[in-house]
Structure 1
Amino acid sequence: MRAKYSIIFFVVVVTAISFYPGKRISAQQILPPLKEVFKKDFLIGTALNSMQIYEKDAGPVKLIPQQFNAVTAENVMKAAEIHPQWNVYQFEMADKLMDYAARYRMKVNGHTLVWHSQLPVFVQHMKDADSVMRFFVDHINTVVGRYKGRIYSWDVVNEALEEDGTLRRSIFLETLGEDYIVNAFRLAQKADPKAKLYYNDYNIEQPLKRAGVIALVKKIQAAGVRIDGIGIQGHWRYDAVPLQYIEESIRAFSSLGLETMITELDLSVLPGPWESNEADINKTARWNERMNPWPDALPDTVAQIQAKAYASLFILLLKYNQQVSRITFWGVNDGQSWLNDWPIKGRTNYPLLFDRIFLPKHAFYSVIETRRK
């Protein structure tokens, strides 16, 4: 029944666009909803910025609730935003996000409780373990406690591993020791026993870093603390999606009793300044004309390759739809993507399913088509 439904929508949309090329925006109203096409497989999520949460950006007002059934805050739940001073919490934007999600019946993933980046200024240079611990405990208890029973899941700890699978030399590791991750999950579990608890990181499909995640999970589980899943961020290049490693990771995490999510999905079409795949926001590179090959528009040939890459990824994830519980795109459209300014500021990237005026790209249709196979 679903396949028939998807095919009908697909034909209608393609026909509308073919006959009315100058009015493609009207076709948005009859797009097949991603959340419906993959309803029996996994949640389809997106990251929202402040303008979108307030619904002040006219382009995605209808598109977001039409297409997605899960949301993650791009920034407003990070510690620097929500907890700027010792005894000061700013919940206005996070509350708006919760209200937005409730209005459109979307599940919210809280992002993120413990992360070495985007920390409040008052925390960044702390050397005293007691002070860091006080912040650590108060932050988790207060933020998780506020949304207890309303939030679906939390990225409890974010990006705590180096590329070789060892623990990152963060302020938390240096002041609180190796058990800080176990303690973070213990605190979050106590603050909201019903929320799903996840570890989130980039490149953890790669064998060395994956081994670090597995060791971390086993340590948490051995301590009698709950961890429900692993978020693979999915910041990949359109011509180098590591499908084999992703599949191996899904199997490995599943063997530990864990869900897998693809949590921050985007497929960059621009050349990278480094040989390795990076997603550390603290690393940047200088401007170079060659690193911004398509400032005005994405060539159709490149868009088609990107579409095939998205399709290959979704075909794999559908194979494991009992193990993969959510796919979240890191942004609604190309113009919103963080990859326009990272790692080189001012570039024009095209990593998502919708273009800068919220029209579907080849990649959108290629993803829809995977449900027919």
Structure 2
Amino acid sequence: MRIGSAVDGRSLSLDPAYSSLLGAEFNAVTTENAMKWRNLEPLPGVYAWPGADQLIEFAERHGQAVYGHTLVWHSDVPTWVSPDWPAERLRTELRDHVTEVVSRYRGRVWAWDVVNEVLDEDGSLRETLFLRKLGRRYIADAFRWAHAADPGARLFINDYGIEGRTRKADALLKLVKELRREGVPVDGVGFQSHIAWDQPPRDLTGNLRRFADVGVSVAITELDVRVELPTTPEKLERQAAVYRQVLRSCLTVPACVSFTVWGFTDARSWIPGYHRGYGAACLFDGNLAPKPAHQALIDELGRHAGTDRASPTTN
């Protein structure tokens, strides 16, 4: 079971306490921003590899698996990519990007978020530059390009708001079935799981299972549990219960192959900047002290390990 965290590149470079805790607590890491297209290729054909290379090398020194994030996302298109380009030029640039990045890290990244957030809340395909210019085909193309560049990597489609049986989750399930029937190498579905402390997901276990029944892996890819500020001991205990619930769901479903928190310290969390009035979303506080959620995950892992020892036939 991979237990991972997204990684803030600046902290990894400049904060020894941060990097020490990252290396000790997790057996997997995800690049929070360093592998996104806008950051990797700020100018046409000019790649800025140091941030991504740094994380890969850190992971290899610490025996950690690397989850690549993300190859195609409408929110991180470089500014030099023009909406006025003809479709074939955009397709060529996207193909070259996917191929270049996956090829560089072939054999060193176990899984990729190939396409990210392709659906709107109502389950329709999100209106993006890629959809307007290339049509639905761009999703299948991205998976095929990534597979050609590294046949050994596991390829995921990743989205938010799909933890329960929502219209969006139903639409994603339908999309995954269609892609696989077409022979597209979709290996897994990533559940981002940005959750509020007082709104735990409903029937996450059952939802993970129905995706697994399609024949794909599932993964918790970006878990955080934001708390309405100011925090109180009661709120942090309820937060811990949500973290435990999500991990338990993942451990219950054999096809759930990875559990990743979206940053492990409140000092580097994205939540306060995007959810006004909320924060304290991570396992460690701003001083890197563990919170109740941290102990809840340890307890749940221990409980699951004990169940496995008692039941040799458990998957």
Q: What is the TM-score when the length of structure 2 is the normalising length?
A: 0.92
Q: Counterpart in 1 of 2:156? A: 198
**Structure 2 residue corresponding to 1:305, chosen from 216, 235, 238:** 238
Q: 1:336 is matched with which residue: 252, 268, 271?
A: 268
Give distance in 1, aligned partners of 2:207 and 2:81.
Answer: 34
Does residue 1:323 correspond to 2:255, yes or no?
yes
Q: Which amino acid aligns with 2:297?
A: V
Match of 2:188 among 229, 233, 236: 229
Q: CA deviation at 1:181?
A: 0.4
Task: Give the whole-Å Cα distance in 2 for the aligned partners of 1:196 and 1:77.
Answer: 16
Give the aligned residue type for 1:44. I
Give secondary structure in 1 for the equivalent of 2:70: strand
For residues 177 and 237 of structure 2, what CA distance do their matches in structure 1 show? 41
| Aligned with residue 212 of structure 1, among 171, 174, 196 | 171
**Unaligned stretches of 5+ in structure 2?**
304-315
Which segments of 5 or more consecutive residues in structure 1 lack a partner in the other structure? Answer: 1-41, 271-292
1:185 partnered with 2:143: yes
Asked whether the equivalents of residues 126 and 132 of structure 1 are also in contact (C-alpha less than 8 Å), the reply is no
Q: Is the 8 A contact 1:157 1:200 kept in 2?
A: yes
1:304-338, Cα deviation, whole Å (9 max, x unpaired): 11122222222332222x12111100002011110
Aligned residue-pair number:
302
Matches within 5 A, 1:1-373: 42-54=1-13, 56-123=14-81, 125-205=83-163, 206-244=165-203, 246-270=204-228, 293-294=229-230, 298-320=231-253, 322-344=254-276, 349-373=279-303
Q: Is 1:232–1:260's contact at 8 Å kept on the other side of the alignment?
A: yes
Amino acid at match of 2:48: Q
Higher relative contact order (CA closer than 8 Å, sequence separation 6+): 1
Q: What do the CA deviations read for 1:91-119 (whole angstroms, capped 9, x no partner)? A: 11111111111111111111000000021
1:31 paired residue number: none
- Amino acid paired to 2:23: P
2:182 maps to amino acid: A
Give the SS at the match of 1:193. coil
Q: Post-superposition shift, 1:372?
A: 4.4
**Distance in 2 of aligned mates of 1:243 and 1:326:** 20
Per-residue deviation, residues 109-143 of structure 1 (Å, max 9, x unmatched): 11000000021001253442122112111101111
Q: Deviations over 1:179-213 (max 9, x none)?
A: 11011101111111001100000012342111211
State how far apart, in whole Å, the 2-side matches of 1:114 and 1:372 are: 37
Aligned to 2:311: none
Q: Secondary structure at the match of 1:185?
A: helix
1:45·1:328 contact (CA, 8 Å) conserved in 2?
yes
The letter of the residue matching 2:148 is: K
Q: In angstroms, what is the RMSD of aligned CA positions? A: 1.5
How many Å separate the matches in 2 of 1:169 and 1:85? Answer: 25
Within 2, Cα distance between the matches of 1:73 and 1:140? 16
> Residue 225 of structure 2 aligns to a residue in which SS?
strand
Larger radius of gyration: 1
Contact 1:46 1:72 in 2 (8 A): yes
The amino acid across from 1:330 in the alignment is W
Contact persistence 1:243–1:313 (CA under 8 A): no
The offset of 1:46, in angstroms, is 0.3
Structure 1 pair 120–99 and aligned structure 2 pair: CA distance change class (3 A): same
Rate the CA distance shift 1:348–1:124 in 2: closer, same or farther, 3 A.
farther
CA distance in 1 between partners of 2:271 and 2:122 (Å): 24
Aligned to 2:310: none
Task: Give the corresponding residue for 1:284.
Answer: none
- Asked if 1 retains the 8 angstrom alpha-carbon contact of 2:219 and 2:250, the reply is no
SS in 2 for 1:161: coil
Q: Aligned equivalents of 2:47 and 2:248: distance in 1?
A: 42
Contact 2:226-2:278 at 8 Å conserved across structures = no
Question: TM (normalized to structure 1)?
Answer: 0.78
